[in-house]
């Protein structure tokens, strides 16, 4: 492969993985040879080699193919001579600061950051790739996510830290990762002087274990303590992993003490993460805890409309009949990822068969998705989940006991039965041991009332609802 071809591949890679990732991970690679269906590269360190292999090998292979270099795999080796410092190795360290335009007034800070970036451990800022589509511009705001969105915006302004951490939680596919990437994108353009690190909790652990193995734990600590904004996605992953938790806790505290912003996401509230140490739970609760609620009809429709705009450009000439988006927003209530998948498939299918997108076509091509979304929660399932959650017997759900510790969960189950099923009150009453419909109504009202003041109860109800809806 000629240098020129590799240069052009690099240009493409820069677009597909983002400039920051490109500079951090791909620019430092050296092409060794392309031979026998293998493209061999040299990476400056073992860590970089592994990271590139895990995160970028596929992208490199794909881009090579576009330029006629078809290989079966990418082989990454470690340079035999380790560069002493990034400056000498001839590649542009990791930093946004070193390369991005510097807004007026920030010049001094940027220079400082650049100087800092030349430090020896800075070559390996192990951020995960950012999805270029996950920006604030493409995030549709509605009632269920307006708080989370506003909080994310606030963090992205990088003003004085007012809440730390920002803890975003919610069910699968509700936009947690999207919002975190959006913060990172915004900071990269508005505040290139800041060191922003986004990664999943799994990657945090991977990095930690690797540092332990290679006896580079001091480097690890220093690196994580040198960032200005740390974002850790899906933190529930480290529950039960003791030494990773411990390290996370120390990193967290060190950054908070330095007044650095931390953003965390999880699939449930801090208190609900089992096998997470109490002291971590309580630290996580110290900042702002915001919940991404399940989508409602308006938000789903808004998202579908926005995405459709993009597809119109991609598939000019496709006709979308009235009512199709409304139908999808109504019928697919699981999560946004499924909703997007449905729309993608619908447009691809329609353009393949050259037909107008009608309700019939939607039903035909989305049968499986529609059927899965159709799954109705039963009252028995609700009772079982609620009993499990509150650690009471299933039989007590329908039995006569009136002690608060049993009556309250029972009322929660009644409330959920009303909201998640289409059963009538008398019908629900029958399934709760033959209770009268007025008793059911009373139970539902009680929970509605309590939810306003009792945060714990409100969280319980939301969590259960999510668990049951997924």
Considering the complex, state which of residue 74 and residue 151 has its C-beta at the smaller distance from Mg ion. Answer: 151
Of the candidates 28, 121, 49, 43, the one whose C-alpha atom is nearest the C-alpha of residue 79 is: 43
- Binding of residue 260 to ligand ADP (CB under 6 A): no
Structure tokens at 251: 């990193």
**Beta carbon of residue 311, minimum distance to ligand ADP (angstroms, whole number):** 14
According to DSSP, residue 214 is labeled: T
Please give the Cα distance from 375 to 363 (Å, whole number). 16
- Binding of residue 145 to ligand ADP (CB under 6 A): yes
Given a contact cutoff of 8 angstroms between Cβ atoms, the answer to whether 385 and 392 are in contact is no
- Binding of residue 172 to ligand ADP (CB under 6 A): yes
- Peptide bond before residue 165 is cis, with ω within 30 degrees of 0: yes
**Beta carbon of residue 139, minimum distance to ligand ADP (angstroms, whole number):** 5
CB atoms within 10 A of CB 405: 11
Strand order in the sheet with 229-233: 196-200, 229-233, 261-266, 166-170, 288-292
Stretch that binds ligand ADP, among 114-122, 133-141, 244-252, 408-416 (CB under 6 A): 133-141
- Binding of residue 145 to Mg ion (CB under 5 A): no
Binding-site partner at residue 337 among ligand ADP, Mg ion, none, CB < 5 to 8 Å by type: ligand ADP
* Of 18, 86, 129, 173, the one binding ligand ADP by CB under 6 A: 173
- Binding of residue 336 to ligand ADP (CB under 6 A): yes
Stretch that binds ligand ADP, among 150-158, 252-260, 275-283, 333-341 (CB under 6 A): 333-341
- Binding of residue 411 to ligand ADP (CB under 6 A): no
Binding-site partner at residue 269 among ligand ADP, Mg ion, none, CB < 5 to 8 Å by type: none
Stretch that binds ligand ADP, among 1-9, 137-145, 235-243, 351-359 (CB under 6 A): 137-145
Please give the Cα distance from 25 to 62 (Å, whole number). 16
Q: Using alpha carbons, list the distances in angstroms from residue 134 to 92, 176, 183.
A: 26, 10, 9
- Within 2-61, the residues that bind ligand ADP by CB under 6 A are none
Considering the complex, state which of residue 232 and residue 440 has its C-beta at the smaller distance from Mg ion. Answer: 232
Site size with ligand ADP, rule: CB under 6 A: 17
Please give the Cα distance from 440 to 446 (Å, whole number). 10
Longest Cα–Cα distance of the chain, Å, equals: 81
Considering the complex, state which of residue 230 and residue 235 has its C-beta at the smaller distance from ligand ADP. Answer: 235
* Of 20, 79, 94, 177, the one binding ligand ADP by CB under 6 A: 177
Please give the Cα distance from 285 to 441 (Å, whole number). 34
Q: Phi then psi for 27, rounded to 5 degrees?
A: -55, -35
* Of 20, 95, 164, 177, the one binding Mg ion by CB under 5 A: 177
Which residue number places its CB atom closest to Mg ion? 177
Of the candidates 152, 361, 355, the one whose C-alpha atom is nearest the C-alpha of residue 261 is: 152
Please tell me whether residue 77 adopts helix, strand or coil conformation.
Answer: strand
Of the candidates 253, 20, 303, the one whose C-alpha atom is nearest the C-alpha of residue 149 is: 303
Binding-site partner at residue 165 among ligand ADP, Mg ion, none, CB < 5 to 8 Å by type: none
- Within 74-103, the residues that bind ligand ADP by CB under 6 A are none
Of the candidates 99, 43, 31, 102, the one whose C-alpha atom is nearest the C-alpha of residue 67 is: 31
* Of 187, 303, 343, 398, the one binding ligand ADP by CB under 6 A: 303
Please give the Cα distance from 106 to 91 (Å, whole number). 24
Considering the complex, state which of residue 171 and residue 409 has its C-beta at the smaller distance from Mg ion. Answer: 171
Could you identify the residue written with the tokens 């991977």?
206
**Beta carbon of residue 314, minimum distance to ligand ADP (angstroms, whole number):** 16
Binding-site partner at residue 134 among Mg ion, ligand ADP, none, CB < 5 to 8 Å by type: ligand ADP
Binding-site partner at residue 173 among Mg ion, ligand ADP, none, CB < 5 to 8 Å by type: ligand ADP
Structure tokens at 445: 């009202």
The residues that touch Mg ion, with contacts defined as CB under 5 A, are 176-177
The residues that touch ligand ADP, with contacts defined as CB under 6 A, are 134, 138-140, 145, 170, 172-178, 303, 336-337, 340
């Amino acid at each position: 492969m000629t240098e020129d071809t590799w240069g052009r591949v690099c240009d493409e890679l820069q677009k597909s993985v983002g400039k920051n990732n490109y500079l951090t991970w791909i620019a430092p690679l050296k092409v060794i040879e392309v031979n026998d269906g293998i493209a061999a590269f040299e990476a400056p360190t073992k860590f970089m080699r592994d990271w590139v292999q895990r995160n970028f090998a596929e992208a490199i292979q794909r881009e090579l193919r576009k330029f006629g270099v078809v290989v079966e795999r990418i082989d990454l080796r470690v340079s035999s001579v380790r560069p002493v410092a990034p400056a000498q190795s001839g590649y542009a360290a990791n930093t946004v600061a070193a390369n991005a335009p510097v807004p007026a007034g920030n010049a001094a800070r940027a220079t400082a950051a650049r100087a800092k970036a030349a430090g020896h451990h800075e070559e390996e800022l192990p951020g995960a790739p950012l999805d270029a589509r996950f920006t604030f511009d493409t995030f549709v705001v509605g009632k269920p996510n307006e708080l989370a969105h506003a909080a994310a915006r606030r963090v992205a302004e990088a003003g004085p830290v007012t809440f730390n951490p920002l803890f975003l939680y919610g069910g699968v596919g509700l936009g947690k990762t999207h919002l975190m990437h959006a913060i990172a994108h915004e900071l990269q353009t508005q505040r290139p002087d800041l060191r922003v690190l986004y990664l999943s909790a799994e990657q945090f652990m991977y990095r930690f274990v690797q540092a332990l193995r290679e006896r580079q734990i001091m480097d690890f600590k220093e690196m994580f303590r040198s960032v200005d904004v740390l974002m850790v996605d899906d933190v529930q992953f480290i529950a039960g992993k003791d030494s990773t938790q411990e390290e996370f806790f120390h990193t967290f505290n060190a950054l908070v003490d330095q007044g650095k912003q931390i953003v965390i996401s999880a699939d449930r509230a801090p208190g609900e993460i089992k096998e997470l140490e109490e002291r971590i739970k309580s630290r996580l609760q110290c900042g702002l805890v915001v919940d991404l609620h399940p989508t409602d009809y308006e938000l789903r429709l808004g998202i579908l409309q926005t995405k459709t705009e993009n597809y119109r450009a991609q598939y000019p000439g496709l006709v979308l009949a009235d009512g199709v988006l409304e139908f999808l927003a109504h019928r697919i209530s699981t999560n946004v990822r499924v909703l997007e998948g449905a729309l993608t498939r619908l447009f691809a299918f329609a353009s393949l068969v050259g037909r107008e997108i009608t309700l019939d076509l939607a039903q035909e091509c989305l049968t499986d998705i529609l059927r899965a979304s159709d799954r109705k929660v039963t009252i028995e399932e609700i009772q079982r989940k609620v009993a499990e959650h509150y650690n009471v017997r299933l039989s007590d759900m329908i039995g006569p006991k009136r002690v608060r510790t049993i009556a309250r969960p029972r009322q929660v189950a009644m409330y959920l039965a009303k909201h998640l099923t289409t059963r009538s009150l008398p019908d629900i009453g029958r399934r709760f041991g033959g209770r009268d419909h007025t008793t059911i109504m009373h139970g539902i009202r009680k929970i509605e009332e309590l939810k306003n003041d009792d945060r714990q109860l409100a969280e319980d109800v939301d969590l259960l609802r999510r668990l049951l809806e997924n």
